[in-house]
Amino acid sequence: MKNKRISSQKKQAILFSFAIALVLAASGLVPRAQTPAQAAGQGQAAGRGQGRGQPGGQGRGGGAGGGQADPWPGKKKLLAVADTQSGFHHDSISHALATVEQIGRQSGAYVTIIATDSQLITKGQVAGTGRYEGRGVNARTLDYYDAIFMLPSGYGVLSDQQKKDLLAFVHDDGKGLVVGHATGVAFTNWPEFGEMVGGYMDSEFNANARIIVEDPKFPGADAWGATTFMFDDQHPVFKEPYSRDKVHVIMRLDPASLSEQNRQRRPDSDFAVVWAKSYGKGRVYNVGWGHPDTTWDDPHFQKMMLEAIKWAMGVTPADVTPRPFPGTAAK
C-alpha cells in the first residue's frame, strides 16, 4: 500500500507540472522550440544586420556591435580619420581632430568618432585578434556615419575593398567627405581618389597671403566678415586633376599678395585653396589649410569648418556648380 501511495503521489506531481507547462506555453512565457531551418534563418538575419547595418541590429550601420543602441539618436555622425601610417604626420593633426570634435559638440550639430588609423573606413567587419579572435571588432560600419573628415598623407593603407567602400560611401550613398591639409599628397597612386577630392598638390609655400572669397554665399565663407582677408598658413598649389570645370572654388589666393617666386608656381594665377564639389550623389569639401595649430585655433577658421561639415552632411544646401576662373583682380 505504501508503494502504491508513493506511485500515486508521483503521478499527481507529474500531471500538475504538465498543466503548469501548458499554461506557461499558452501565455508565451516559455519559448517554443524552433526547427533547425527557423534557427538558421534567424542567425542569418542577425548576421546581415550586424555586418551591414540592415535589420537585425538596433543602430544604423551596425558592425559587430550592431545590437547596441545608438548612444546619440537623432544626431549627425562624423567619422574623423588621420590616415598617416604611410605618410608625413603633421604636428597639428591631433589638434585638428580634437578641434573638429569640439566644434561639433559645442554647436550640437554633430558628434565625432575619432580614429587615428583607417580601419573604420569599411562596410564590412574588422577582424579581431587575441580574445576577439574570429570576431568583428568594429561596433559600426560606414553606413552609420553621415560624413568623413580625413587628414591623410602618403599612399595610405586602405585595402582595395576599403577603397571601393569609401568611393561608394560618397558617390552611391550620397554622404559627405571633408578633406584637409596634406590631402593633396595622399593616395597619389589612386587616381579615383584624386578625382573625388578634386586635385593633387604640386607644391606648397608659407606666406601671409590675401584671400579672395569667390563665393561668399557658400556656408561658412563669410566667417571672416569680408570678401578679402589676410591669412597666414602653408598654402598648397594644386595640379591635375584640378580643373575649374570640375570643382566649385570658394576661396583662392590673390597673386598680387605673393612674392614673384611664389606667383610663378601657377602662371595662370589660379591659386584655389578652398572648394566644394559633387561626387555622384555625395558632397566633397576640400580645404588646403591647417598646417599649424594656430589655424585650428582661429575662430574664423573654426566657423568655416563647422559650416563646411554641416554642408557635407547634407544639413545646409549650397550651389556647387563649377565656374570659370574670374581673373586676378580682387572682387
Q: What is the pLDDT of residues 93-131, one digit of tens each?
A: 899 999 999 999 999 999 999 998 899 999 999 999 999
Cell of residue 2, nine digits: 505504501
Which residue has cell 534567424? 42
Average pLDDT over residues 14-30: 41
pLDDT on residue 248:
98
pLDDT on residue 137:
86
What does each C-alpha distance from 39 to 24, 44, 52, 55 come to in angstroms? 22, 9, 20, 17
Q: How confident is the model at residue 66 (pLDDT cuts 50, 70, 90)?
A: low
pLDDT on residue 139:
83
pTM: 0.80
Q: How far apart are CA 70 and CA 97, in angstroms?
A: 22
Tens digits of residue pLDDT in 267-296: 999 999 999 999 999 999 999 998 899 999
In the predicted structure, residue 202 carries a pLDDT above the cut 90: yes
Q: How far apart are CA 295 and CA 301, in angstroms?
A: 7
Cell of residue 287, nine digits: 580645404
In the predicted structure, residue 141 carries a pLDDT above the cut 50: yes
Q: How confident is the model at residue 40 (pLDDT cuts 50, 70, 90)?
A: very low
Check: CB of residue 276 under 8 Å from CB of residue 313.
no
